[in-house]
Structure 1
Amino acid sequence: MSSSDTTPGPLGPYQYVQNALYYVHVALATVVIGLIGIPRVIRGGREGANRVATGWIGYMLWAARLHLGVTCEVRGTPPTEDCIVAAKHQCFLDILAIAHAVPRRNFIMKREVMRVPVMGWYAYKVGCIPIDRSKGRDAMRAIVARIGERMAGEGLGQLIIYPEGTRTRPGERRSYKHGVGTFREATQLPVVPVAVNTGLFWPRKGWGVRPGRAVIEFLPPIDAQTPNDDFMTTLASQIEDHSDRLMAEAGFRR
């Protein structure tokens, strides 16, 4: 696959129908699974919500195989202890795959997303932390405080962060934001980098998905004792170099 091949061409009628069916399918499934799972969340709290989320995410990945012919291979060792997961972000598929691979996933997400019916309620229940980006540094301080409360109580789980702050195209590199360094310094938790090549198969906009086997790879954690001055450079180098390797393995050339 050349770099020009990474941008899907116009959808054919069959692809268009399958893409549409996928999104209709998962929207209906979200409502049904969400409603059925309410009693489990009421009984089991955060752990119950995570069990429902695992089933829901797994169903969405299964539906992607059924309708779109795309699967996602997980390499490395997904963390099970409290940590920060810092991942390359290319598309919706890597969100699903990373979240499905860890048992107590939670995200820092825009507060507007947490107001979405069903999904937003579950995001709150599994421990996702809302952010109001308009508040700048005050928002960061509020998140650090929330993380501290979580660690002092039921534990943080695996906090998933996208250091670039947005989805990127295959081969694209953006400056890493320092939020992940701030959270690492405040928590003294290890940071687990994740490399991906998912954007070669699932475009940023979500239409024109290419069938095939995408890969996400959990890399060895960056120890909490790594000096702060070295951390961001080390993190970016590991994620970008390994993502480039995964994309080259799939045939991508810059």
Structure 2
Amino acid sequence: MLILRSLLFNLLYYVNIVVWMVAVLPTFALPRRVLLRAVKAWARTNLFLMRHVAGITCEIRGRENIPPGPLLVACKHQSVWETFALFLVFDDPCYILKRELMWLPLFGWLAAKQRMIAVDRGARSRAMRQMQIDGRRQLADGRQIVIFPEGTRRAPGAEPAYKYGVVYLYSEFGVPCVPVALNSGVFWPRRQFIRRPGRLVLEILPPLAPGEDKAAFFDRLQAVIETASARLLAEAGAQPADVAALGTGENERESA
């Protein structure tokens, strides 16, 4: 049954993506906010499919921890799930993503319309500078800049691999940083076909005020996200053997 439900969910999920991408093409001639509303609606249909096909319910905790105004959001990254779910958590998120995604037909066009920040991870210092410039423009519009501090998806329980990019942006932007923990990788594992039923939880943690020492911020950010994520993994019933089955967390090196 688990295999059949996973198969049906995956099929419907990808069909849903294609249908929505084609359906929103006319929004290119309209204000960006029109497309944003469509993206939020698409995200809701994904949650509907997760609940009613894959048997995964989703809980968002800590919304009261989101301060008003422009923000830097540092989110744990275990699954595809958070790449769309954060649209339903924050008012107008702007993702930092790798430049290659902008080359994809339809998706890249839509991401450009939403003014996502594309990063050439091979450029290093130049990429950091471009992130800072583009990020300031989006913050000026009151948006929330979303970065995955580890740069790529990591298996639940994998050794943390936080990158310097989040520290650089925190020091340059001068806005609060909102840490986000989750356990999505237990239910929607990276590079796996199976979707495991259960309660997926995303927790928004208290914001870190701007102006903190860089080293102290880096240590504190990692500590609060990893501690909360470990608690959510335990809450999901993930045992060490289960975590090992979801992958070692090793992935290609990425510098953002």
- The answer as to 2:17 corresponding to 1:30 is yes
Counterpart contact for 1:193–1:218, Cα < 8 Å: yes
Q: Distance in 1 between matches of 2:7 and 2:237?
A: 28
Alignment partner of 2:186 out of 200, 212, 217: 200
Residue 130 of structure 2 is matched in structure 1 by 142
Q: Distance in 1 between matches of 2:202 and 2:167?
A: 22
Gaps of 5+ in 2: 241-256
- The answer as to 2:211 corresponding to 1:225 is yes
Equivalent pairs counted in the alignment come to: 238
Q: Which runs of 4+ in 1 moved over 6 A?
A: none
Q: Which amino acid aligns with 1:26?
A: Y
Residue 57 of structure 1 is matched in structure 2 by 43
Q: Which amino acid aligns with 2:11?
A: V
Residue 158 of structure 2 is matched in structure 1 by 172
Counterpart contact for 2:138–2:145, Cα < 8 Å: no
- The answer as to 2:77 corresponding to 1:89 is yes
Q: CA RMSD in A?
A: 1.8
Q: CA deviation at 1:230?
A: 0.9
Counterpart contact for 2:2–2:196, Cα < 8 Å: no
Q: CA deviation at 1:41?
A: 4.6
Deviations 1:107-150 (Å, cap 9, x if unpaired)? 11111112222222222222211111121211111111111233
Gaps of 5+ in 1: 1-13
Q: Distance in 2 between matches of 1:205 and 1:81?
A: 36
Counterpart contact for 1:50–1:105, Cα < 8 Å: no
Q: Distance in 2 between matches of 1:32 and 1:175?
A: 36
Q: Distance in 2 between matches of 1:227 and 1:85?
A: 18
Q: CA deviation at 1:34?
A: 2.5
Counterpart contact for 2:139–2:145, Cα < 8 Å: no
Q: SS of the residue aligned with 2:30? A: helix
Counterpart contact for 2:188–2:196, Cα < 8 Å: yes
- The answer as to 2:219 corresponding to 1:246 is no
Q: SS of the residue aligned with 2:58? A: strand
> What's the TM-score, normalizing by structure 1?
0.86
- The answer as to 2:96 corresponding to 1:73 is no
Q: Distance in 2 between matches of 1:130 and 1:220?
A: 27
